[in-house]
Structure 1
Amino acid sequence: MITSNGYVLDQSPARFAYLSPVPASERADRDALWRRLREDGYLYLSNHLDPGVVNNFREYYFTKLAETGLVRVGTEPSLGVGAPGEVNRASLRRILFDEIVPGAAYGGLTAHPDIKDWFAWLLGDEVHLHKRKIIRHVRPGETGIGTATQAHYDLVYLREGSEHVLSMWIPLGDTPIEMGGLAYLEGSHHWALAAERNGTRKHPAASITADLPGLADTHDARWLLSDFHAGDVMVHSAFAVHAATDNVDPENRIRLSTDIRYQRAGEPIDWRWQEHWSDRDGL
């Protein structure tokens, strides 16, 4: 059973399918990638990053936060096994927002040549990485509205800049479906773009809904998911509707991921995204 914010996803063939990775024959073909991005709204690039780079950051992250009570004592930090009980939230916020987010390790990961140079190649131009980069961890068993990222498309948060901004979601470690990875609503970028163009987008715009099954029924569409591996990345347009599922991992592993945004440096840049991410920045 797959859930998101407590809602049970319909796994019938009409409402559920697996994401399609970009085939090897297209990985170095920029025109083919753009055709796929326009058609699907996303690019699933399997093994795009060195798994060692990703897993090293996962180990760094959980080692830094070990003192908060987030991970189980005596386990390897890279496993990210959740500890029982409450975490020290004050300590967690201090380490996350004062040390990890602005730190060299995170900066090195998000501007890694396999990411930055790839975007420059895809976009055919100098690129800009938005300084506001988000790291999310979800402990197993966390449920209820607001636990998992609700269905939305990124443009609703980035209206002060170019609509051509591209997001990259990076699972930081192996992330099978039961750990609560990202899900995309098939074909959603077409109707989201149309709604933006003709002014029929519904409010509030910051979040479409936590009811993923209901949204799929409304648009007669499938939610697309995958078992992600360290090194996989997802790239999607600002109009692709996506959400996260709940972490129900039987091994009690914490789901860790980051989402970052690149665009052409010469296009309008949303000034609100040019400071380090904080959960109190109002975005």
Structure 2
Amino acid sequence: MVGVLHENITVNDGPLTSDNAALLRPSDPNLPLEELRQRYEQDGYLFLKQAIPREDVLDARRRYFDYLAPTGVLKEGSDPVQGIFNPIKSVDDYPGIGAGAADGNGRPGGASAAEFVDRAIEAHYKDWYVDKLCNHPALYALVARFTGWGQNTLTFKRTLLRNNTPGTRPIGVHYDQIFIRHGEPTSITAWVPIGDVKMNGGGLIYLEDSDAVGQKLEADFTAKAKQAGMSEEEARSAFNSNMTANAMLSDAPADFAKEHGHRWLVSAYEAGDVVLHKPHMIHASTVNNDPDNVIRLATDIRFCDSSKPYDKRWMNFYRFNDGV
């Protein structure tokens, strides 16, 4: 692994190197369905290359930054689709949505960030995002076929359209069932990078073989809660009181990996790539150290089998302080 990982991949508590990290395994979407399912079950994720037409993803990226451009976030004279951060601006005025702030999914930033934050949240409701990307027919068809859910495949309306300007705080360590616990753990998440993301550009990272780790953490806390006399509803929410203020397992990915004896899996990503992952698969993101000052833009699109109990709270569009 020496020389494979980029020299400037960092998380909140230090660097990721060949000692504590390795590369994600990519998969061709055209591989036999059973092989793809086997990889997903074995790894807890499925990193699919060019699962959505690249031009469609880049169109969403262009539309997003066109919409946010009036806030001054982009480098003067640059093409919006590049998403290059304005070097004369302060990153404090351009905070990410849901990127691990102390107030959870509350409104980030102060008065100077108001216009940027308003536009970043409003982008969640635009047709070029909701209709053209979140409900892209290629992505829906892929998930429906892969899961075998067919016409029961339901796309959650609630998504997290995250922008991460260079140097800002990355996403902490978590798994998705923490936030979707009002339904059975049968959902599937599609992480979609909206644009190319360099190895050190703030992309998602996965803790190797951690689906079982997440399930054990969940089971241990649930058992303790019930032993303490909590009701099923109280036990369901008890887990969150044992985590950080923003409902994360940890804000120190390097230490978390060392504690559990697992490596982080990293990758560069291209527009059109999709990573599917299980509801207990542990993941986080790296600090955006992009040398070209490119803003990392990505979204989490989640699906479930509508014939089984699912978390109805996720059928509302994302809003600040929505309690999810």
Report which stretch shifted further, 27-36 or 192-201.
192-201
Is the contact made by 1:8 and 1:213 (CA closer than 8 Å) also made in structure 2? yes
CA RMSD of aligned residues (A): 1.8
Tell me the equivalent position of 1:29: 32
Q: 39, 49, 53: which one pairs with 1:50? A: 53
How do 1:70-219 and structure 2 match up within 5 A? 70-83=73-86, 84-85=88-89, 86-87=93-94, 89-98=113-122, 100-107=123-130, 108-125=132-149, 126-142=152-168, 147-198=169-220, 199=223, 203-204=242-243, 206-219=247-260
Structure 2's unaligned 5+ residue stretches are 1-7, 95-111, 225-238
SS at match of 1:116: helix
Q: In 1, distance between residues paired with 2:39 and 2:157?
A: 27
Tell me the equivalent position of 2:43: 40
Q: Normalization by structure 1: what TM-score?
A: 0.91
Is the contact made by 1:9 and 1:212 (CA closer than 8 Å) also made in structure 2? no
SS at match of 1:217: helix
Structure 1's unaligned 5+ residue stretches are none
Counting matched residue pairs gives 274
Is the contact made by 2:11 and 2:254 (CA closer than 8 Å) also made in structure 1? no
Question: C-alpha deviations, 1:82-131, integer Å up to 9, x for none?
Answer: 01323552222332333x21111111211111111111111222211111
Is the contact made by 1:183 and 1:223 (CA closer than 8 Å) also made in structure 2? yes
Q: Normalization by structure 2: what TM-score?
A: 0.80
Is the contact made by 2:193 and 2:269 (CA closer than 8 Å) also made in structure 1? yes
Q: In 2, distance between residues paired with 1:175 and 1:263?
A: 27
Q: 200, 206, 221: which one pairs with 2:262? A: 221
- Does residue 2 in structure 1 map to residue 9 in structure 2? yes
Q: Where do 4+ consecutive residues of structure 1 move more than 4 Å?
A: none
Q: Identity of aligned pairs, percent?
A: 31
1:19 partner letter:
L
Tell me the equivalent position of 2:236: none
Tell me the equivalent position of 2:100: none
2:21 partner letter:
F
Is the contact made by 1:4 and 1:210 (CA closer than 8 Å) also made in structure 2? no
Q: In 1, distance between residues paired with 2:200 and 2:48?
A: 20
Q: In 1, distance between residues paired with 2:18 and 2:268?
A: 18
